[in-house]
Amino acid sequence: MGPTASGKSALAVALARRLGGVVVNGDPFQAYRDLPLGTGQPSVGEQGGVAHLGYGVLPLDQPVNPASFGELVRGWLEPCEHAVLVTGSGLYLRGVWNQLTQLPDVSEAIAAKVRAWVDTLGAPVLHRYLTAVDPVRAAALHPNDRSRVQRALALHLATGRRASQLLDGVARGVPGGWKAILVLPTRDRQRARVAARVREMIRAGWQKEVAAILASGGEAALRRLRPLGYDLWLDEPKGAGARIILDTRAYAKRQGTWFRNQWPEVPTWDPDTETLEDAWVKLGI
């Protein structure tokens, strides 16, 4: 587990080679087949000859949530004797590990009210409000993540409780039979890694990827998904690269905070200062 561009995919490949196993995707956006560049799906070269499961397999119009995606991932894992799950999403990892509670229903009246707020004020304003009432959930969401900000506020209004409490798992800790490691570069190196990753995505044709989705009629599905960066290519392509770097750096910071808060017992590994042998020692393998 780890933030975007931290080096967790490379570690997963090295570990799968060591175990004679496969790499399994635990990131919901990397599961979509039309988003290989912008979501950072490992290229053939990055896969290094190791089998990868669950990447680029879903159509854009198939929505997933932590519970349904967790079920998909468990299906990919089940036949594998040695599987290395790699993810940047702590909430969806809870879905894989069956550490989610059943969420209460939200009335259509409340849902409509929050939708109207988002339409009038914009997602970033509501994200600031969410930060005031539920800083834990707000820290896990991008300010422009309209659907999830909206959902969190609707749950709060419907129940009087924080969405982070409602989404919190029925169980804590790393489940039995699992070993986990948090890939976490230093802050400066993480920022540099993000910038390099985004620039490489752009060089590889990220904007053309978006254009192809538009040409195939997938804009509505893409807007519903709202993967990081794509909204800027859709609405503000001029100067999008610089904005995406800033947004991704902020997102990576939230990812690292989420993992440390949710699983403090998981050892951290710095890919820039520690060796693979250090990782194996920390994993106990």
Q: Taking 90 as the threshold, does the pLDDT of residue 91 lie above it? A: no
Q: Which residues pair with 186 in a beta bridge?
A: none
pLDDT, averaged across the chain: 93
241: pLDDT confidence band, cut at 50, 70 and 90? very high
Residues 64-77 have a mean pLDDT of 95
Q: Taking 70 as the threshold, does the pLDDT of residue 173 lie above it? A: yes
Encoded tokens for 193 = 């890694």
Global pTM reads 0.82
Nearest-Å Rg of the Cα atoms of the chain is 19
List, for residues 206-234, the tens digit of each pLDDT value: 999 999 999 999 999 999 998 999 999 99
CB 48, CB 13: distance < 8 Å: yes
3-class secondary structure, 53: strand
Domain with CATH 3.40.50.300 in the chain: 8-100+170-283
CB 90, CB 184: distance < 8 Å: no
CB 28, CB 89: distance < 8 Å: yes
Q: How many CB atoms are closer than 10 A to CB 285?
A: 10
Tell the residue number behind the tokens 């699992």, with chain if given: 178
- Looking at 1.10.620.20, 3.40.50.300, 3.30.365.10, 3.40.50.150, the CATH number of the domain 8-100+170-283 comes to 3.40.50.300
- Looking at 1.10.3720.10, 2.40.50.140, 1.10.20.140, 3.40.50.1980, the CATH number of the domain 108-167 comes to 1.10.20.140
Q: Which residues pair with 268 in a beta bridge?
A: 182
Task: Output the pLDDT for position 271.
Answer: 98
Domain with CATH 1.10.20.140 in the chain: 108-167
CB 28, CB 185: distance < 8 Å: no
Residues 170-193 have a mean pLDDT of 93
Q: Taking 90 as the threshold, does the pLDDT of residue 148 lie above it? A: no
List, for residues 19-43, the tens digit of each pLDDT value: 999 999 999 999 999 999 999 999 9
Q: Taking 70 as the threshold, does the pLDDT of residue 171 lie above it? A: no
CB 260, CB 182: distance < 8 Å: yes
Task: Output the pLDDT for position 168.
Answer: 64
List, for residues 98-135, the tens digit of each pLDDT value: 888 777 778 889 988 998 898 899 889 999 999 999 99
Query: Where are the extended beta strands (E) located within the chain?
Result: 22-25, 52-53, 83-86, 182-183, 268-269
